[in-house]
Amino acid sequence: MSIPMTRLGNRAFTHEDNADVEREYDRLRDLARAEANKRNDCFERSRRAYEDGDGARAKALSNEGKAHDAKMREYNRQASEYIFRENNAPGRVEPDSIDLHGQFVEEAERILEQRIRADQARGQTHLHVIVGRGNHSANHVQKLKPKVEELCRELGLQYGTEDNDGRIYINLQGGEPVPPPKPSKPPHGGQQHHRPPQHRPPQEEYPEEEAEGLIPLLLRKLEKACCAVM
């Protein structure tokens, strides 16, 4: 079953109200969804053509679907980069923080890993990651936070959930993930510390959250079959 493409949180732009930013972001994501629908339609018609024995038409429709898939990915790339620039513009987040609102999970994972590696190379000691509380996700389940924690474990980094449970503190250089105290924060709540395992078992394969961005396995097999009969 196809999982709809969803973003993190109820608003992509998490600072002052700005309808223009939200509108442009939604426009790009809507264009991506439209291309995804066209892609899926082409692949479905390709499958039917193949079952009917029309290999040439099946191959043509498959290629058309691939073209729509490429356009979908491009629109999603533009949306991801656009909202990241807006949310992380100078003055909107602290230099030691990164805001991942508006990103799909796989987009956020890629952006965060690049940031972690760059900060480590510069000798930065820590990073605050704004992931959101999941209040507007299905069943109020956070999608991004578990992926950030998984990435930290893969990189051997210790992390902690901050008093604001929509933020994660990552120690980039080793040691306990203890952020500097913030007097404006309430004293209760604390944080949860997590140490990376000494011996990590083989990584499980997680289903992609944005299934609209992937070609179903059945269609991959179909494309191979189409190529075989041509």
Tell me the pLDDT tens digit for each residue of 67-121.
Answer: 999 999 999 999 999 999 999 999 999 999 999 999 999 999 999 999 999 999 9
Would residue 4 count as lying in a domain?
no
**Per the domain annotation, does 200 fall within a domain?**
no
* CA atoms of 102 and 14, how far apart (whole Å): 9
Whether 174 is in a domain gets the answer yes
> Distance (Å, rounded) from C-alpha 78 to C-alpha 33?
13
201 domain-assigned: no
**Is the same domain home to 141 and 170?**
yes
Same domain? 110 vs 190: yes
Pair of tokens at residue 17 = 């109200």
**pLDDT of the residue at 143:** 77
* CA dist., res. 22 & res. 15, Å (int): 11
Q: Which pLDDT does position 61 carry in this prediction?
A: 98
Q: Are residues 110 and 164 in the same domain?
A: yes
Amino acid 198: pLDDT: 45
CATH number at residue 127: 3.30.1370
Residue 138 within a domain: yes
Report pLDDT for 122: 95
142 belongs to a structural domain:
yes
In a domain, 161, yes or no: yes
Whether 109 and 180 share a structural domain: yes
Whether residue 204 is contained in a domain is answered as no
109 and 81 within one domain: no
Output 220 or 154, whichever has higher pLDDT: 154
pTM over 0.85: no
- How far is Cα 20 from Cα 58, in angstroms, rounded to an integer? 42
Instruction: For residues 110 and 141, state if they share a domain.
Output: yes
**Are 129 and 160 members of one domain?**
yes
Domain that holds residue 111: 105-194
**Phi, psi at residue 207, to the nearest 5°?**
-65, 145
Is 181 in the same domain as 133? yes
Q: Are residues 168 and 117 in the same domain?
A: yes
- Give the pLDDT score at 162: 85
Instruction: Give the number of domains in the chain.
Output: 2
